């Protein structure tokens, strides 16, 4: 009986030591992957990296991690326009079947899914850059987008400031718009055009109300998948295959 009790105590101690070693190893790996990702993507801050699954050491032996989560608080994506960036908030991605080298200098996920948010303030920059300053809709009538907000039911409320025959309307008029994804581009299109009390060509007014924003160079080569307008901005989902975490 004493021998059995001793054997059980030894087994518990060894098990505890294995768990401790496993957790220390996974913490080291998370830090290494985070540093490599920061370097390879040119990030200003170190991302959060979480490696799920237990035990970790057996995954290391196989050279493949089952599930890796990456979080980047503020990511500045390229827009296709020189020196122009767009800030993406709380970009998070979940990587599956991640193959890596022993020193973590290279790590590639078979698949990845994730989400992020673009605030209305950031998206408004795209509307203003598409038509900088008030645009002439017809002679004597100018209009410009001045605000974006949640329109409810997945719509964006676009506020438009207009001047008619030299008189600025007392309040901005608004339209509800639909937001979609087309490849690497977020597009905002008015469901109907505002009533300014005067007839005008739809095409010229849409040059004001409708706009788009390209989003390029997301981490690891992930791509836009879908978008939806919410209270704080536009929620986007991303996905990809053979996504590079490092190297």
Say whether both 74 and 11 belong to one domain: yes
Tell me: pLDDT of 100 over 50: yes
Say whether both 87 and 190 belong to one domain: no
Say whether both 171 and 110 belong to one domain: no
Amino acid 197: pLDDT? 64
Say whether both 31 and 104 belong to one domain: yes
Q: For the chain, how many structural domains are there in total?
A: 2
Residue 246: pLDDT band by 50, 70, 90 thresholds? low
Q: What gap in Å lies between CA 135 and CA 103, rounded to an integer? A: 56
For residue 171, is it within any domain? Answer: yes
End-to-end CA separation in angstroms for the chain: 55
Q: What gap in Å lies between CA 46 and CA 246, rounded to an integer? A: 13
% of residues, the chain, pLDDT over 70: 80
Domain end call among 95, 118, 141: 118
Q: What gap in Å lies between CA 115 and CA 113, rounded to an integer? A: 7
Q: Which of 51, 57, 63 is nearest to 95 (CA)?
A: 51
Say whether both 16 and 91 belong to one domain: yes
Q: What gap in Å lies between CA 120 and CA 157, rounded to an integer? A: 10
Tell me: pLDDT of 64 over 90: no
- Residue 127 phi/psi, 5-degree rounding, is -65, -40
User: Model-level pTM greater than 0.75?
Assistant: yes
Q: What gap in Å lies between CA 123 and CA 65, rounded to an integer? A: 36
Q: What is the mean pLDDT of residues 51-76?
A: 79
For residue 242, is it within any domain? Answer: no
pLDDT in tens, 202-213: 667 888 888 888
Q: Cβ(112)–Cβ(95) under 8 Å?
A: yes
For residue 39, is it within any domain? Answer: yes
Say whether both 34 and 133 belong to one domain: no
- Which H or E element spans position 48? strand 48-52
Say whether both 73 and 19 belong to one domain: yes
Place of tokens 């008619």: 164
For residue 130, is it within any domain? Answer: yes
Amino acid 233: pLDDT? 93
- Among 7-11, 116-120, 126-130, the least confident range: 7-11
Residue 12: pLDDT band by 50, 70, 90 thresholds? very low
Say whether both 177 and 90 belong to one domain: no
pLDDT in tens, 144-196: 889 999 999 999 999 988 888 778 888 888 899 999 999 999 999 999 887 76
pLDDT in tens, 119-150: 999 988 877 776 666 777 778 888 888 999 99
Say whether both 87 and 138 belong to one domain: no
Number of Cα atoms under 13 Å in the Cβ half of residue 227: 27
Say whether both 114 and 182 belong to one domain: no
Cross-strand pairs, 86: 77
Where in the sequence is the domain holding 126, given as residue range(s)? 122-214
Say whether both 139 and 170 belong to one domain: yes
Say whether both 8 and 112 belong to one domain: yes
Cα 31 to chain center, whole Å?
Answer: 22
Q: Which of 153, 133, 156 is nearest to 145 (CA)?
A: 133
For residue 244, is it within any domain? Answer: no
Q: How is the beta sheet containing 107-119 ordered, strand by strand?
A: 48-52, 64-78, 85-100, 107-119, 233-246, 223-229
Question: Residue 94 has which token pair?
Answer: 């979940």
For residue 103, is it within any domain? Answer: yes
């Amino acid at each position: 009986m004493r021998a059995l009790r001793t054997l059980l105590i030894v087994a518990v101690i060894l098990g505890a030591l294995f768990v401790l070693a496993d957790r220390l190893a996974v913490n080291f790996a998370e830090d290494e992957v985070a540093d490599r990702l920061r370097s390879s993507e040119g990030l200003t801050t170190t991302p959060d990296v979480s490696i799920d699954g237990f035990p970790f050491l057996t995954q290391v032996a196989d050279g493949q991690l089952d599930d890796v989560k990456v979080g980047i608080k503020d990511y500045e994506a390229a827009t296709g326009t020189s020196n122009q960036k767009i800030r993406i908030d709380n970009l998070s991605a979940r990587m599956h079947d991640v193959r890596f080298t022993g020193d973590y200098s290279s790590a590639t996920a078979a698949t990845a899914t994730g989400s992020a948010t673009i605030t209305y303030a950031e998206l408004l920059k795209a509307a203003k850059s598409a038509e900088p300053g008030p645009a002439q809709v017809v002679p004597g009538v100018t209009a410009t987008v001045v605000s974006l907000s949640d329109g409810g039911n997945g719509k964006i409320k676009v506020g438009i400031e207009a001047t008619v025959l030299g008189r600025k309307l007392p309040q901005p008029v608004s339209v509800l718009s639909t937001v979609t994804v087309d490849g690497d581009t977020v597009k905002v299109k008015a469901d109907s055009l505002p009533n300014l009390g005067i007839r005008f060509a739809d095409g010229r007014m849409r040059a004001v109300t409708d706009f788009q924003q390209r989003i390029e160079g997301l981490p690891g080569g992930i791509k836009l998948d879908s978008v939806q307008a919410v209270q704080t901005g536009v929620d986007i989902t991303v996905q990809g295959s053979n996504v590079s975490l490092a190297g």
